Amino acid sequence: MSDLSSVNSSGASGTSEVSGRSPASGAAPRVELRSLDTLWFQVSGTVCNLACTHCFVSSSPTNHTHEALSLAEIEPYLEEGAALGVKEYYFTGGEPFLNPEMEQILERTLELGPATVLTNGLLLNPERARNLGAMALGSRYSLDFRVSLDGYSALTNDPIRGEGTFKRILDGISNLVAAGLNPVITVTEVYDDHGSAQGKERFFRLLRELGVEKPRLKVLPVFRIGAEAERSGAYESWQRLRESDSPGSWDHLQCSSCRMVTDQGVWVCPILVNEPEGKMGETLADTLNAYSLNHSACWTCHVYGVSCKT
């Protein structure tokens, strides 16, 4: 693996004002890429079969800001990532299973390391779930799934994710379970009680009812960009990072160990793919520099201890 601690730290962050970024008031801190442990792919671009009201990249059936990545486009990044010491691979969107090559992409990735897919669950029919279960069973590396859910019932979930989605998501989870897979359920704090002990227990109870013996739950804060900024309001001007916010280093942030590939190049992280200043280069080698934490979304990652990893 390359010694990333010795790379040029001149950085690649732009200076133009974009939505969600706080006014300048002193230099933003910079985060070094200590090791490229995690490689992300915006595998379906920003195209999704849902238009969730809290989506920080505003994915929808009509959002073509980023397009899907083919296996041929992904291959060079997989090879470059392996040479740089990448330990695990993540696939998100949009909805990854809108990509017609998604299963072939996973098969290739599992030759190199563990893979995780972030999905809304709507396209996980019994046949696909069985195929994925067989793929997981036959691989030396783990194949994981994170299924998004935003309520304990249709009454709370469907206003966020769309009418009728609660039942369809549960069907997708059940299909994965029947295929021998144990997905992580990801919920965002669109409701105040999701992160409470009582709220978590309600999700655990729901999963046990679906036959999940050892439920897994990941609770994430909302990022006030994209659709969420329209739903509940954008960041306040004071919500930005300063050097004094972290007395040591910034290595607790995921951008110290990850990069995100889209059809338009490589971004610093999965959160900022719609922000021009988030793009760092065309290849992984272009993106090994330090990054200036200018965006207010960086404040959320620091304050809430966010990790996009499972």
Question: So what's the pLDDT on residue 166?
Answer: 97
Per-residue pLDDT of 14-59, as tens digits, reads 333 333 443 444 689 999 999 999 999 999 999 999 999 999 999 9
- On the CB side of 121, CA atoms within 13 Å amount to 26
User: DSSP strand E in 197-267: where?
Assistant: 216-220, 258-262, 265-267
Q: Is 309 helix (H, G, I), strand (E, B) or coil?
A: coil
* Residue 254 dihedral angles phi and psi, to the nearest 5°: -65, -25
| Distance (Å, whole) CA 234 – CA 125 | 36
Average pLDDT value for the chain: 91
Per-residue confidence (pLDDT) for residue 15, from 0 to 100: 31
- Rounded to an integer, the average pLDDT of 258-266 is 98
In a domain, 223, yes or no: yes
Residue 17 resides in a domain: no
**Per-residue pLDDT for 3 more than 50?**
no
Residue 16 within a domain: no
- Pairing of β 265-267 and β 279-281: antiparallel
Residue 309 forms part of a structural domain? no
Q: Which domain holds residue 107?
A: 4-11+26-304
Domain assignment present for residue 165? The answer is yes
Domains held by the chain: number = 1
pLDDT digits (tens, 9 = 90+) for 224-249: 999 999 999 999 999 999 988 987 78
54 within a domain of the structure (yes/no)? yes
CATH of the domain at 231: 3.20.20.70
Cβ–Cβ under 8 Å, residues 286 and 272: no
Query: Is 307's pLDDT higher than 60?
Result: yes
